[in-house]
Amino acid sequence: MPNLSTPRRTVLAAALALTVTFAPPLVEACTRLVYHGVADQIVTARSMDWKTDVGTNLWVFPRGMQRNGEAGPNSINWTSRYGSVIASGYDISTTDGLNEAGLSASVLWLVESSYPEHDSGKPGLTIAAWAQYVLDNFATVAEAVAYLSTEPFTLVSDNVPGEDRLATLHLAMSDATGDSAIIEYIDGKQVIHHGRQYQVMTNSPTFDKQLAMEEYWKDIGGTIVLPGTNRAADRFARASFYVNAVPKTDDPLETIASVFSVIRNVSVPYGLTTPDQPNISSTRWRTVTDHKRKRYFFESALTPNTFWVDLDKLDLSEQTGKVMKLDLGANQKNIYSGMANDAFRESAPFRFLGI
């Protein structure tokens, strides 16, 4: 280890203690980060880490789709204003995606989540459609935050498919300006963190405590030492340092390569098991979103190629746009390369899991 002065050793010890304190015993290990580059290059990346196949496929949704909140008789209804490309979970939910206005949305696991009771006087929205609601309705983070802060619906959760536990998630949004927001439900109340400075989000702990960790690690500096485990707190520290440490260039290829290198750095090796932490999860796939060029990159842990979807070359119109599906296969083993727009096939839309 590098030679550290006594004050820096003290700060390091505190940071390590903080990391251990905030690391939860049960971990579903996803990471999301936003890169602020030069020449208006804003890029968002996320990893999907889960202990079993999450049944992901890519979908194209055009404008004008009629949606239902799938929360029983009193469900919110809407018509999609924007087309989008999304990555599904089990083909019953939207886990990640980008819309044609350049807004991205991602949901990650947060075990501390606690949602309000379903108010019969307020329409409900299934948590499976939370990210899609944002992609369908808003062009910017500021627009989404302004509306969602009024709490126009009650978020309703249900059990994870095949498991006896509720889906407990928090939502991250970013847009082409570099704006960012994190929305959580803690003790039944909505909490919103809004600003460009909120570049990184992992799982537990709650986001306010993740920010406290960031302050500790800023005092140390990532060139001295960074935590290396696959715990959420350690991944947060690494992502926060590297997303701003990688060189910034106006070359789009180098920009995408840099962001992929950061999200790979905080991924969990495939098939990894940790005896005392049975819920540590392997990285199943990664996405990188180029907000400026409207390109949505996808990389499976089990295939040799990275491919992308170009939203500017899709028909997302209400009149002629079609729902399209890219079949990724079991464990996302199907191989695609380059721009994959032509590999999508028209399909009936999936139905969001509700109650």
Catalytic residues: 30
Under 8 Å between Cβ of 347 and 328: no
According to DSSP, the β-strands at 295-300 and 306-310 are antiparallel
Cα gap 321→140, rounded to integer Å: 23
SS3 68: strand
Using the 8-state DSSP alphabet, how is residue 282 labeled? Answer: -
- Angle between helical axes of 207-220 and 232-245 (0-180°, round to 10): 60
Cα gap 281→51, rounded to integer Å: 5
**Where are the extended beta strands (E) located within 90-234?**
93-99, 104-109, 124-126, 154-156, 169-174, 180-186, 189-194, 200-201
**Distances 8 to 166, 211, 221, 227, 236 between C-alpha atoms, Å:** 42, 20, 10, 15, 20
**Distances 207 to 4, 13, 172, 214, 255 between C-alpha atoms, Å:** 29, 22, 11, 11, 27
Cα gap 87→288, rounded to integer Å: 12
The residue among 88, 112, 103, 96 whose CA lies nearest residue 28 is 112
314, amino acid identity: L
> Beta-carbon neighbour count of residue 280 at 10 Å?
20
Q: In the block, which residue shows the tokens 């095949």?
A: 162
- C-alpha of 8 from chain center: 33
Query: Per the structure block, which two tokens stand in for 277?
Result: 């932490």
Backbone angles phi, psi at 65, to 5 degrees: -80, 135
